[in-house]
Structure 1
Amino acid sequence: MILCLDMAFSGPYLHFLLASRIFIFKFIFAQAASPFRMKSILITIAVLFTLVLAESEKYTEKYDSLDIDAIIGNKRLMAAYVRCVLEKGKCTPEGRLLKAHITDALQTGCSKCTIAQKGGMRKVIHHLIKEEPEAWEALLDKYDPKKVYVHKYHHQLNSVLEE
């Protein structure tokens, strides 16, 4: 079973699994291990595995290479994305994904966002507030009608505006 898990993970997760396998063989299956020691080792492994899985809960990196500057520099393309997330127009695959994650990102402080996604969102928010305030207000009306997130993230919004 441990060998099968290697196929599903890569990078740090694979390293963790390999280290876990060594740990398991070295301590759990050793004849001198006491039942108490085996239980504590199993609990430790379970906790570590849970932490690794929690860390891996990020949005897909599939669209991290999108040229955000090209999108915000093209009024027609930017308007299409805004219509998409406002559910007033057709969506591209990346637009659908963005729309699907907006509420979760707002609720969690973008905790599942990659570094590239956070940087892209800062650029887009800056552009919308400075260059397309009507679109920004429409997005706020849809996703934050009570201005809960505007108040929650006011420091981040101010830092975006200072850029």
Structure 2
Amino acid sequence: MTVGMVLCLVIPTGLFIWLMVALAGVVTVELKAAFGHEGTPGTATVVSCEPYTVGTGRSRRTNYDCEVHFVFDDRSKQPIVVDTVPEVEVGEVFAGVLTPEGDRVLPTGERGVWRAILVPSGIAFGLAAMAFLCALMTRSRKAIIWTGALGTPLLVAMIVAIVVGT
């Protein structure tokens, strides 16, 4: 094993582990909500999506602040209007859960699961791509094969998460 190959595999792996530990809290909450293990279940109807601009000049981008009318499955509770994810359209109806904090509604089911794994799979693919490029530069055949084999399923997961989760 060459030094180049070791560096191409160890540095991205270390970054990956550090990022996964850092993101574990956020991803765990969204996955639990998507599977219906956390939060209060109900049905959400999107009532508004207001655009707002962040940044200036070339770094300027438009985000959306969306709200839903959330009807609890438990009919003893009154419906509320609360924030939700920005990947929705006005009039859309979806099954969701109100987070334990009560500040937003997250989608459940297949859409919610894929949405929750989008960020981790994107980060993992980015790190695998970085390792792959490093392996190409050092011309380490084994590292190219390993990083390519690791990156390909991550790329597929990321594409499926984008298509299904948004």
Quickly name the TM-score band, shorter chain normalised: under 0.3
Structure that is richer in strand per residue? 2
**How does the TM-score come out when normalised to structure 2?**
0.25
**How does the TM-score come out when normalised to structure 1?**
0.25
| CA radius of gyration, larger in | 1
